[in-house]
Amino acid sequence: MKDYGELLSRSEKAIYDLRDLYRTSGYKLFRTGKFEEYQLYSQNRDFLGKDGILTFTDNRGRLMALKPDVTLSVARNSEYVPGQVERYCYDDQVYRMARGSGEFREINQTGIECIGDISEDHVLEVIDLAVKSLGTIAEDYILTVSHMGIVRGFTSILGLPAEAEEAVLKAMGNKNFHKAAAICREQGVSTFMISKLQELMSTSGSMDQVLEAVKGMAMNREMDEAARELDQIRQFLTDKGVETSARLRFDFSVVNDMGYYNGVIFQGFVTGVPYAVLSGGRYDKLMEKMGRKGGAIGFSVDISALDQKSPAPAETGEKTGRRMINVALPKGRLGEKVYSMFAAAGYEAPELLNPGRKLIFTNEEKGVSFFWVKPSDVSVYVERGAADIGVVGKDILLEEGSDVFELLDLNIGKCRMMVAGPKDFEDDTDKTLKVATKFPRIASRYYNGKGRDIDIIKLNGSIEIAPVLGLSDVIVDIVETGNTLKANDLEPKEKIVDISARFIANKAIYNFKSEEIGTIEEALRKQKPED
């Protein structure tokens, strides 16, 4: 008989294999329609992440949405029976508007949901299936586990206002201690607690390695209970024969919205895919918000990602067999400064100083491969996994909204993002403010935060002449010395944010190369100028 498995794509095979895994584990297939009333998603917008929702109006005038996620549909349509748990599995298409580009995305999603009176055994069951799912679709994988009880237990001690707490959580999700610490200092948090926050944010690694540190960090009952549950997960997986030292990591940069999630959360990664292919966790709070009884835990797998697998170049050195770190450097003066820091830290590639037309420079002995790219493209190369790490200006990170780890402020390339205008300009709040800028997203966020009505005029250069020629009232631009402003009879009006160069890493690759990237991070930390 012909083996039709040979004719299937990787994603098609994964669908069949995972469906078999879930149904033999007692999960029944859940079918939903392709669209739901938009209200279901608008009321739970934060649960869905950053991607946009595709909407349309039906013939009865109702605003509908193409389904962007299956979990919400399952949660809304599940039946609660006291003392029982319903197990559902699914494989379905979901539809999203891609963040940034606005492109339509059709995603093949599969997963499971366990809903009802959830016990610790059900949590372990779902974690076990998450590990098995990753093992089914890839030979090399890592499941990264966190716990909202650790995160929420700690942030509750800080006593932050809701908005500041949300900002700290976002910074934790990006491993951006610089930002988290700045927020805490603004809110009067003690130096001791900021140091504890740094300890928590830097605690990641194999489960066996990290667990004792986690227990030592517990500062209240919520954190104690979470640490106990994490220990239970580690022991359970060890007893199952899972190679926990290699396959499982604790990492508290994995955070979710506290309005929806309340327990263990996790992400799964496979080599060659630059983002998480599996995401899940316990979401009792979502059930409560939707007026549903009982708790819930589950996960989804982005099957579509498997056919997009594209390993970065120079994954392993040809001569040494050593795992390489691919570094995206920004062309220009900043890139030259950055390279000198790498070289001083022991990561040099002498060829780079006389490049000719070459763009990639490798030093196998040091385990690094550098390549030059346009400064605004660095974060794209890193986010998409063509580079493991890179250095980019904070202005670009803010404008692009890049989903990367922001590991270190290098304290070079320092300048300010400013509002500037004519010396005699006074803002008339009764009129729409015309703003010329190369940074429309930064400008929009800034003025939206002030509740100011603006007209954004996107320009690519010579921003300073826009007010002079009457094209705009003010500009939003980077200011280093202010000399160009003076030459055009402009002056700074308001500072939006300080800018400097940031050391960034791909979130997926970090899990596989955390030791190598961490070593480079510490070496660069020693080279960066003092504040």
Burial class from Cβ neighbours inside 10 Å (0-12, 13-18, 19+) for residue 163 reads exposed
Give which of 86, 79, 89, 92 is closest to 36, Cα–Cα: 92
**437 part of a folded domain:** yes
Question: Facing residues of 3 across strands?
Answer: none
- Separation CA 346–CA 368 (nearest Å): 10
Instruction: Quote the distance between the C-alpha of residue 190 and its chain's center.
Output: 28
- Same-domain status, 439 and 491: yes
Q: How confident is the model at residue 1 (pLDDT cuts 50, 70, 90)?
A: very low
- Separation CA 200–CA 522 (nearest Å): 17
The top-scoring range by mean pLDDT among 212-221, 357-366, 411-420, 479-488 is 411-420
* Residue whose entry in the numeric block shows the structure tokens 């227990």: 215
* Residue whose entry in the numeric block shows the structure tokens 């006593």: 159
- Name every residue whose Cβ is closer than 8 Å to that of residue 160 and which is 6 or more positions away in sequence: 168, 183, 184, 187, 189
Give which of 449, 457, 465 is closest to 433, Cα–Cα: 457
| 144, 108, 22, 244 alpha-carbon torsion, rounded to 10° | -20
Collapsing DSSP to helix, strand or coil, 226 comes out as helix
Give which of 499, 521, 500 is closest to 510, Cα–Cα: 521
Amino acid (1-letter code) at residue 277: V
- Read out DSSP for 336-389? HHHHHHHHHTT---GGGGS-TT--EEEETTTTEEEEEE-GGGHHHHHHTTSSSE
- Same-domain status, 432 and 376: no
Predicted confidence at residue 439, as pLDDT, reads: 95
Contact 371, 387 (CB under 8 A): yes
Tell me the pTM: 0.90
- Same-domain status, 372 and 514: yes
Collapsing DSSP to helix, strand or coil, 110 comes out as strand
**453 part of a folded domain:** yes
CATH of the domain at 465: 3.40.190.10
- Separation CA 458–CA 446 (nearest Å): 15
**Angle made by CA atoms 324, 327, 333, in degrees to the nearest 5:** 150
Instruction: Quote the distance between the C-alpha of residue 320 and its chain's center.
Output: 32
Q: How confident is the model at residue 70 (pLDDT cuts 50, 70, 90)?
A: confident
- Same-domain status, 379 and 520: yes
Question: Facing residues of 107 across strands?
Answer: 94
* Residue whose entry in the numeric block shows the structure tokens 């990492």: 251
- Same-domain status, 478 and 362: no
Q: What is the mean pLDDT of residues 93-111?
A: 76
Predicted confidence at residue 5, as pLDDT, reads: 55
**342 part of a folded domain:** yes
**Angle made by CA atoms 373, 374, 379, in degrees to the nearest 5:** 80
**315 part of a folded domain:** no
- Separation CA 134–CA 141 (nearest Å): 6
- Same-domain status, 491 and 431: yes
Collapsing DSSP to helix, strand or coil, 487 comes out as helix
Question: Facing residues of 110 across strands?
Answer: 91, 301
More reliable by pLDDT, 305 or 502: 502
Please give the residue range of the domain that contains residue 393: 325-413+501-527
Contact 68, 51 (CB under 8 A): yes
Predicted confidence at residue 317, as pLDDT, reads: 61
| For residue 3, pLDDT beyond 60 | no
Predicted confidence at residue 319, as pLDDT, reads: 63
**Chain segment 282-340, per-residue pLDDT in tens:** 999 989 888 888 999 999 999 888 876 655 555 666 666 678 999 999 998 999 999 99
The number of distinct structural domains making up the chain is: 2
- Same-domain status, 391 and 422: no
**407 part of a folded domain:** yes
- Same-domain status, 441 and 372: no
- Same-domain status, 457 and 509: no
- Same-domain status, 390 and 519: yes
- Same-domain status, 507 and 459: no
**114 part of a folded domain:** no
**Chain segment 112-170, per-residue pLDDT in tens:** 999 999 999 999 999 999 999 999 999 899 999 999 999 999 999 999 999 999 999 99
- Name every residue whose Cβ is closer than 8 Å to that of residue 212 and which is 6 or more positions away in sequence: none
**454 part of a folded domain:** yes
Amino acid (1-letter code) at residue 218: A
Predicted confidence at residue 353, as pLDDT, reads: 76
Q: How confident is the model at residue 4 (pLDDT cuts 50, 70, 90)?
A: very low
Predicted confidence at residue 2, as pLDDT, reads: 42
More reliable by pLDDT, 235 or 104: 235
**287 part of a folded domain:** no
- Same-domain status, 399 and 514: yes
Predicted confidence at residue 320, as pLDDT, reads: 63
How large a percentage of the chain has pLDDT more than 90?
60
